Amino acid sequence: MFLIGLFAALLGGGALAEAELARFERAAAAEVGSHLERTAETVVSVEVTPLGVVESLRGEVSHVSITARGFAVQGLPLFTEPDLEKTGTIRSLEIVLHDFNLRGLQVEELRARLSRCRYDFGLARSQRVLRLTESGEGPGYVRVGERALERFILHKYRNINRVSVRLDAGKILVSGQGDFGFVKAEFMVLAQIGQRNGTQLVLENARVVLDGIRADAATARGFLEAINPVIDENRDLRLNTAMTIEEVRIRDGFIELFGTARVPKRDRSGG
């Protein structure tokens, strides 16, 4: 997982403690980076704010911040391992990611601030390795732009040959050309984006135009069934419900997602 050498960093004093903490943060950043597909622009950092000696002896950490940018990843690189002991506490865990590619979706920004996460303190003491064993929850935020959605749609829907996306004033305008089985046509869709089940983004309240003609209700319904959900957090991005989407906003060329975030448990299915 990540965060190696925590115990030594917490229990030192003065200059020694600062040096140990700096070594720990570098090791932690290297461990996080090992789960990412790095590029020349990749930057990863970890910052730890310890508590006093008494709290440290109990395995309590005030705050851990993980930041990264300029990378690609095929699924969530952080998991909890609930079978291990829950003897240590991180009071606040912050994750901030910028400009990264998640399974074909370029994400401009992802933020999560989680309260009270647990880890195996005994393992940290004996092996200088920290494993998250329980995740708190907290506010999550994701921001994706128009061009990123265009590339993702072409990546996901092989039957769409050309696409243009505009995001403004609470609506999405998608136009292009595709073969949807029941019809092959130039299309244009003006719709709102809503969330379904907290993990899917879907087009709704849509007007569908095919080859310049407004589609009837049955045809529009068939078109939307073929394209929805536009993004499935779990199936498309392998995020294991890391965020429950509660609000969707569209403005100024971006879609913004707000909800409740968490670090999910490790998926042992191999999927």
Q: Where are the domains of the chain?
A: 2-136, 146-257
**Six-digit token string for 207:** 């007007």
Poorest-pLDDT segment among 6-10, 47-51, 200-204, 225-229: 6-10
Are the C-beta atoms of 189 and 173 separated by less than 8 Å?
yes
Contacts of 263 (CB under 8 A, 6+ apart): 78, 79, 80, 93, 114, 117, 132, 135, 242
Cα separation of 1 and 219, whole Å?
48
What are 103-157's pLDDT values in tens digits? 999 999 999 999 999 988 877 667 656 678 999 999 999 999 999 999 999 999 9
Residue labelled with tokens 């909890």: 80
**Six-digit token string for 81:** 């391992």
Cα separation of 259 and 60, whole Å?
27
Is a pLDDT exceeding 70 seen at residue 271?
no
Are the C-beta atoms of 134 and 80 separated by less than 8 Å?
yes
> Residues of the chain with pLDDT > 90: what percent?
62
What are 192-226's pLDDT values in tens digits? 999 999 999 999 999 999 999 999 999 899 889 98
Poorest-pLDDT segment among 57-71, 143-157, 159-173, 236-250: 57-71
Are the C-beta atoms of 208 and 214 separated by less than 8 Å?
yes
Amino acid at 85: E
Is a pLDDT exceeding 70 seen at residue 230?
yes
Give the closest residue to 62 by CA, choosing from 3, 22, 117: 117
Rounded average pLDDT over 96-102: 96
Report pLDDT for 182.
Answer: 62
Cα separation of 81 and 72, whole Å?
24
Poorest-pLDDT segment among 59-63, 88-92, 148-152, 160-164: 59-63
The secondary element (H helix, E strand) that includes residue 177 is strand 171-179
